[in-house]
A and B are shown apart, each in its own frame.
Chain A
Amino acid sequence: MYPSYMHESLKLVEQTRPARLKIAREKGRSKIFPSMTAEEREDVLHKFHPDYKKDAKHAVRIGPNAGEEITTEVADILESWPRINPDTFEPMLKKPDMETDVLVVGGGSAGASAALLAEQTGARVLLVTKLRLGDSNSVMAQGGIQAAVNPQDSPVRHYLDVMGGGHFDNKPELVEALAMDAPLVVEWLTELGVMFDRLPDGKLKTRHGGGTSRTRMLSCKDYTGSGILRVLRDEIECRNERIRVMDFTPAVELLMDAEGRVAGAIVQNFETDEYFIVRAKAVVMATGGLGRLHTQGFPTTNHYGATCDGVVLGYRAGAKMLYMDSVQYHPTGAVYPEQILGFLVTEKVRGLGGQPVNKEGNLFVFPLEPRDVEASAFIRECLERNNGIATPSGQQGIWLDSPIIEELEKPGTIERELPAMVRQFKRFGIDITKEPMLVYPTLHFQNGGLDVNAQCETNIPGLYAAGEVQGGTHGRNRLMGNSQLEITVFGRRAGKFAAEYALALKKELPLNLDHVRAFSKEVQKLGIDRSRVSPILLPDYIPSHIKEKQMTSHYLGTVRG
């Protein structure tokens, strides 16, 4: 149900469709529009990518990356007060409430994989997570997971594609681990019971994604992330003897010992506001991304708990960050209807042959450029060339012609391949098998993160990081399907290596919070207002006219203290 003023433009999309279809059929889908040269890519990125905007970045003033330009909203939460006062917590440190070998922080697929592998390696595991186990960005992935499983493909080709997608800034050892472990991860997941899409003879279905030179995108319909994580969660629940899970229990600070090793965390029971001291020989940070920081005011595809906590906690403990100057805007976020603003329209729509067209119904970019390039081209089409379609609430968007898929492939393809997408739009009265979607870039992914090696070690002993919270795998631009891969590949690695480290650790030393105290001093020197607190844990969507009247509760960020 698009408003009537859009009908004229919708007609144009229909009118141009036969010609666009003809080209796709005759020349092949990879030739429907010339892909950009290296120079053209550079140009559109510099002029239109949000990361390049003035004020997008600030030099962070304290901590291990001091002096480095990073995303402004991230710099702000790093230059913030801790939620806890080290002096009040100091006496509690002598009597930890819980002890474990490996503490996993985060309940997405990175955390779940880490917990399973740590247990398998012989460690006792505690997994704490902010919402429920599984409520995460991981569960939302629709498009797929990459793995070079076809004979015409190889891990080496996968490596090259990842490096190119990341503009060659990726950390080679991480990309090597990613590409080489990929088929092993698919085997592991299959043994656990993940139902990847297959052909009747068992061959795994593979498709192209943005920036792939071979079809290597595996999927579980368009519930890929859910299809994987529901199995990992079930497996964790089946190993509940040795993996303890605590839902609604975010970590709010790391603990260290006298030798400067990370040795546990302070966690908060979200419902009773009790705080617990968890002593752990090793900690795996698997807290995911930052979408809920809404950088530059963008809407986001991310889940409710994506507030960059892991980077904050790790950074305070001295862990270095890599590429925190870069976030990913996914080219196709929904802009209409208003209730689904920012929601992800999976890249698979373009993988299946869907085409982005402007208000005249014309193609203006190759549909599967790397994401940052594609997103920048959309912004250019709307802002510079004035070829966007305005929504009633004043957003801009371009059409994503999905109905063309039914003709390119066969009727019924959309229902079969994109059931989640169909359902999503149907709930709001739009039939994507007959009408295009209106889209614009949306905040999607944290490209950078904590700097780790291929064993997932940070520069601080005892602190491991895996998943979206880690930086370096994708350089400054991730390709679809490599993140679902990253979280399982590095989740498994982090679990294994953290467990081995923990089991080899001989003596345990007293815990301290000196790093928090030292960091607070720096924050004080900057003259940061006391009300600025991090990790922020949850975003704040309560309108100001209500907030003004919530007189007696004081706020620590969004959560009442």
Chain B
Amino acid sequence: MSKKQEQVSVFIMGKKFMVPAASTIMSALEYSGFQLKRGVGCREGFCGACATVYRLKDDFKIRTGLACQTVVQEGMLIAQIPFVPAVKPVYDISKLEPTITIFKQLYPETFRCLGCNTCSKACPQDIRVMDYINAVERGDLAKAAELSYDCIRCGMCALRCPAEIGQFNVAILAQRLYGSCLAPKSKEMIERVEQIRKGQFNEEMAAIKATDKAALKKMYYERDIEPGESV
């Protein structure tokens, strides 16, 4: 263990704190004495709870990032954005047609996109946000779903968007429509579900459940393993 850690100064909502140079913004907050409740979730870049805006020393740019994934720098000015208000209409997914029309009804502002690309620049996941919004505008939901898939709903794009679009909600609708209606169906899965509903495995399952531990162990260690990958 290194004895004396190198420290840097950061400004948390304007107030100065000295923190270890290797800290993430999140650990810097905790090191400074903040007991976090909002603005923290998975701590590994998966939940989008920790959206943060910051400026670097002598730099005019407002930058965006995830507090749990961004290392502090000397002179950094930090503020967390724990909540992003966004439009969220209610719908019954099973009743929607997977077409552009539904987006025109539920998210008409999507079609006001100015093509400024600010959203993509703000995205900590490096998603081509503008491109998926444009895909929705063209009615290409498969593309929109694919391009937006790594979205963790941090909300930074929506906050920066001059057209006031709530991109992440648009994205989830595109994904759900793709997943439920447009994606090709798996014949194998449908057949397996039918077999289970018909009770095809019930007898065999009852038998293996009744097998004693020693016999089960033997079955297990002797079972054949499917080679390689099916994909």
Contacts and interface: CB of A to CB of B under 8 A. Distances in A.
- Asked if A and B bind, the verdict is yes
Interface of A: 28-30, 38, 131-132, 134-136, 139-140, 148-152, 154-157, 159-161, 163-164, 168, 172-173, 176, 179-180, 183-184, 186-187, 190-196, 198-208, 213-215, 220-221, 223, 225-227, 230-231, 234-235, 237-240, 248, 270-271, 301, 303-305, 337-340, 343-344, 392-394, 419-420, 423-424, 427-428, 538, 540-543, 546-547, 550, 558-560
A47 B42 CA distance: 32
A420 B192 CA distance: 31
A30 B225 contact: yes
Contact of B37 (A159, A200, A204, A248): A248
Interface in B57-103: 69-71, 88, 90-94
A131 B41 contact: yes
Contacts of A420: 45-46, 150
Given A184-B196, A191-B180, A203-B186, A132 B41 contact: yes
Contacts of A152: 226
Interface of B: 1-2, 22-24, 27, 30-38, 40-47, 49, 69-71, 88, 90-94, 125-126, 145, 149-150, 152-153, 172-173, 175-180, 183-193, 196, 201, 204-205, 208-209, 213, 216-217, 219-221, 223-231
18 contacts: A132-B41, A149-B186, A156-B205, A160-B220, A160-B223, A173-B209, A186-B189, A193-B176, A201-B184, A202-B186, A203-B188, A206-B230, A213-B223, A215-B226, A226-B47, A231-B172, A303-B43, A550-B33
Given A192-B176, A542-B30, A542-B33, A134 B196 contact: no
B45 A204 contact: no
Highest count of chain A CB atoms <10 Å: which of B69, B173, B196: B196
A200 B184 contact: yes
B22 A538 contact: no
Nearest to B1: A394
B42 A303 contact: yes
A130 to B, nearest CB: 9
B196 A183 contact: yes
A168 B90 contact: no
B204 to A, nearest CB: 5
A538 B36 CA distance: 9
B47 A149 contact: no
Contact of A30 (B24, B217, B227): B227
A148 B192 contact: yes
Given A38-B221, A163-B216, A204 B189 contact: yes
B201 A424 contact: no
Nearest to A559: B35
A44 to B, nearest CB: 17
A8 B164 CA distance: 52
A344 B44 contact: yes
Contacts of A221: 149-150
Contacts of B231: 199, 205-207, 215
Contact of A208 (B180, B190, B229): B229
Nearest to A428: B71
Given A131-B49, A159-B208, A543-B33, 11 more contacts: A140-B44, A161-B220, A196-B179, A207-B231, A231-B175, A271-B37, A339-B27, A392-B2, A543-B30, A546-B33, A558-B35
